Amino acid sequence: MEDSPRLLIVDDDPEIRSLLVDFFRQHAFQVASAADGAQLDAELERNTPQLLVLDLMLPGEDGLSICRRLRSRYPTLPIIMLTAVSEDTDRIIGLEMGADDYLAKPFNPRELLARVKAVLRRSDSTLTTSGKHLRFEGWHLDLGRRELKRVDGTLVPLSSGEFDLLQALAEHPQQVMSRDELLDCTRGRCAGPYDRSIDVQLSRLRRKIEVDSKSPQIIKTIRTGGYLFSLPVEVS
């Protein structure tokens, strides 16, 4: 049990917390829960989880503020947001603040389980990619450490979702990849009709690696619907 993934579920609804805690424990997860930002911080002091499930509608400090705050302290901690079904703007803002994926309420716990497993599968890629490095013009992507560095050694913090997206693109250099293909590589699912997670995370990623994010030269948008990683990549 000690080797099973650790989840932290943050939701102010005690019924939802209880349901999710029981459900994930039945699926061999270690699970802690919190009702608000203060309880979340206390849980983080005790034990850092491998993934955070975060409701946006919380009393006191809301989920968007928490997400922004945690990104500066835990830049690689995967975060899946739970949002109201109609709050598309909040989902986009949450992704802008560094959340890795989202799921609208009401939801089937099995769908959340699938999202959690997909994110953790990518985050745990160190088990199969340790020692693998991708190098491209001015950059070094270490798949084992899940780190992006400039050639001068400067570390560029990426969220789990941003890292997964860059890895998927860099592993298919000079190939057009559609949003569905990128979602399949990074989340193990297809895009819904209003799914903008790839576009939002790509915008964040461009701001970190492009000289001019408004005129990108590394990750180019293809009019026919997709993205192209334009640089040659050296694998070692």
Task: Look at residue 128 in the predicted model and tell me its pLDDT.
Answer: 47
Over range 94-112, report the average pLDDT: 87
Task: Look at residue 228 in the predicted model and tell me its pLDDT.
Answer: 93
What whole-number distance in Å separates Cα of residue 112 and Cα of residue 59? 23
Q: Is the pLDDT of residue 187 over 60?
A: yes
pLDDT tens figures, 113-139? 988 988 887 766 544 445 589 999 999
pTM of the predicted model over 0.95? no
Q: Is the pLDDT of residue 90 over 70?
A: yes
- Pick from 85-89, 159-163, 189-193: least confident: 189-193
Q: Is the pLDDT of residue 162 over 80?
A: yes
Over range 73-98, report the average pLDDT: 81
pLDDT tens figures, 217-235? 999 999 877 899 999 999 9
Over range 37-65, report the average pLDDT: 94
Over range 197-209, report the average pLDDT: 88
Handedness of CA 145, 54, 35, 26 (dihedral sign): negative
Alpha-carbon Rg for the chain in angstroms: 18
Per-chain mean pLDDT for the chain? 87
Task: Look at residue 94 in the predicted model and tell me its pLDDT.
Answer: 80
Over range 185-200, report the average pLDDT: 66
pLDDT tens figures, 167-183? 999 999 999 998 888 88
Q: Is the pLDDT of residue 1 over 60?
A: no
Task: Look at residue 126 in the predicted model and tell me its pLDDT.
Answer: 46
Which two structure tokens, joined as six digits, stand for 188? 């193990």
pLDDT tens figures, 16-25? 999 999 999 9
Between 174 and 200, the higher pLDDT residue = 174
What whole-number distance in Å separates Cα of residue 86 and Cα of residue 32? 28
Domains of the chain and any CATH numbers? 6-123 (3.40.50.2300), 126-235 (1.10.10.10)
Task: Look at residue 53 in the predicted model and tell me its pLDDT.
Answer: 97
Q: Is the pLDDT of residue 236 over 90?
A: no
Burial bucket for residue 60 (CB in 10 Å: 0-12, 13-18, 19+): exposed
